Structures are given as C-alpha cells and as structure tokens.
C-alpha cells in the first residue's frame, strides 16, 4: 500500500525519487543536452505511416506536464484522415498566403529568410499525423456552468514542450506550425466554444532526403544571467 496523508482533506502520496551521485548527475545532464540538441524542426516529412500506439504514448507524455491547479487545460486533436488534412492545408495556406503577401512586416520576412519558409505547407498533407493542441480557457459542467482554468497559456506551452521532446525521443520529427489566424481549425474540427487552437504539430519520419537550416543556438552566456 502507498503511504498517504490528507492535506486540506485531499489525499497526498509520499513521493520518492532516487537521486544520483554528483558524477552520474553531471554525466546524465550532459547526455540529455546532447540528445536534445539533435532535435530540429523538419519540414521534409515522409508519408511513411507511424503506429497509432506511438502517438498515443507521445500524448500521454505531454499530459504529464504541470498545469495551473492541475486543470490540464488542453485537448489534443489527432488527425490522420486525408480529407481532413487536405481541408486543413487549404485553409492554412489561404491564411499563410495573406500573411506572406502583406500581413507580415518587411523585418519579419527578413527574419524568416534564413529559415526558408513560405506560404506553401505541403507537410500538412504529407505528414501521417497532425496533432492540434487546443487550449481550454474554461470547463463546462453537465449543467452548463462554466468553471475557470488557470494559467492556460503557460500550461499549454509546457505541455507542448513535453510533446516535442516525446516526438524526438520516438525518433520522429515535427514542426510547430501557427497559421495566423487559426480560427478555421475550430470550425473545421467542430470544437466547442471553450477551446481555442494553440499549436498545430505535423508529426512523422523525416524524408530520406531532408534539409534543415544550418543554424546555431544561443550559447549559455547569451541566454542566462547568474546571481551567485
């Protein structure tokens, strides 16, 4: 039996995590960074199928993310249906074309140039799976009453981080796609009023010939400030 105690009348369990000795901790942290540093956004996604069970486990990992008051304010819509993917691509490219043709500032377009993006999004139909993350700003009970969720943006952002890590761990690639505006996703997928699209993530294997920008990440000195 698990050791439990009540806090404010609710059950708590005794959390035990085996710590690592200093040398092993250092080695593990270096190895994890090296593994994570291999992750890249890849737009060249193969149509090769990926087992549904793999995607299910990836979503379960994403769901372990912390959330405000443990409300878990997210819905993962998972799409493999070709017709639905075609409809999403058509609507997304319509919005993206408007953005690239006039909505985006000159500075924005210049910043995107090294990444090589444009309004065309073939990965939306090529990827075997699309995962669309919806944020739930509130819940609706059986009586139609609304109940607030907390720190929804932050909670969904953390869950998406876990999601991308799980995708990378499975040997797959992904893209964090945010066609703006994204309201068409709510309509196409017939989502309820308390859900708003947060992130669109195509997932699959990288193509045999896949290309990514030759970019470098900020070094530690450029992204951290230490108060010791």
pLDDT 10s digits, 20-66: 999 999 999 999 999 999 999 999 999 999 999 999 999 999 999 99
User: Does the structure show a pLDDT above 80 at 2?
Assistant: no
User: Does the structure show a pLDDT above 70 at 1?
Assistant: no
**Alpha-carbon distance values, 152 to 45, 70, 135 (Å):** 30, 11, 7
b or e along 66-104 (b: 16 or more beta carbons within 10 Å of the residue's beta carbon)? Answer: ebeeebbbbbbbebeeeeebebbbebbbebbeeebeeeb
Neighbours of 20 (CB within 10 A): 12
Task: Place 17 in a pLDDT band, splitting at 50, 70 and 90.
Answer: confident
Phi and psi torsions of 100, nearest 5°: -70, -25
Mapped onto helix, strand or coil, the DSSP state of residue 6 is strand
Token pair recorded at residue 188: 């196409």
Could you tell me if 131 and 170 are in contact, meaning their C-beta atoms sit under 8 angstroms apart? no
Instruction: Give all domains of the chain, ordered by start, each with its CATH number.
Output: 42-208 (3.40.109.10)
Q: What is the mean pLDDT of the chain?
A: 96
pLDDT in tens, 172-207: 999 999 988 999 999 999 999 999 999 999 999 999
CA atoms within 13 A on the CB side of 160: 24
Report pTM: 0.95
Q: Distance between CA atoms of 164 and 178, rounded to whole angstroms?
A: 15
pLDDT in tens, 158-168: 999 999 999 99
The stretch 129-158 carries a mean pLDDT of: 96
Q: Distance between CA atoms of 99 and 109, rounded to whole angstroms?
A: 10
**Alpha-carbon distance values, 70 to 6, 12, 36 (Å):** 17, 14, 27
* Nearest of 50, 45, 73, 40 to residue 155 by alpha carbon: 73
């Amino acid at each position: 039996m698990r050791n439990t105690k009540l806090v404010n009348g609710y059950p708590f369990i005794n959390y035990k995590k085996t710590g690592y000795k200093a040398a092993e901790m250092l080695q593990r942290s270096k190895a994890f960074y090296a593994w994570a540093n291999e992750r890249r956004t890849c737009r060249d996604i193969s149509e090769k199928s990926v087992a549904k069970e793999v995607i299910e486990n990836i979503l379960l990992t994403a769901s372990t993310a912390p959330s405000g008051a443990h409300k878990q304010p997210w819905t993962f819509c998972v799409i493999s249906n070709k017709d639905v993917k075609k409809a999403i691509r058509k609507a997304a490219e319509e919005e993206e074309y408007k953005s690239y043709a006039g909505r985006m500032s000159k500075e924005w377009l210049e910043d995107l140039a090294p990444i090589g993006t444009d309004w065309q999004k073939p990965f939306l139909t090529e990827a075997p799976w699309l995962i669309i993350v919806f944020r739930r700003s509130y819940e609706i009970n059986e009586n139609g009453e609304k109940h607030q969720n907390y720190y929804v943006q932050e909670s969904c952002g953390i869950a998406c981080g876990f999601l991308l890590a799980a995708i990378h761990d499975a040997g797959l690639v992904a893209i964090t796609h945010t066609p703006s505006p994204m309201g068409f996703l709510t309509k196409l997928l017939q989502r309820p009023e308390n859900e708003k699209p947060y992130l669109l993530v195509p997932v699959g294997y990288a193509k045999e010939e896949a290309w990514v920008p030759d970019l470098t990440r900020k070094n530690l000195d450029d992204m951290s400030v230490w108060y010791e």
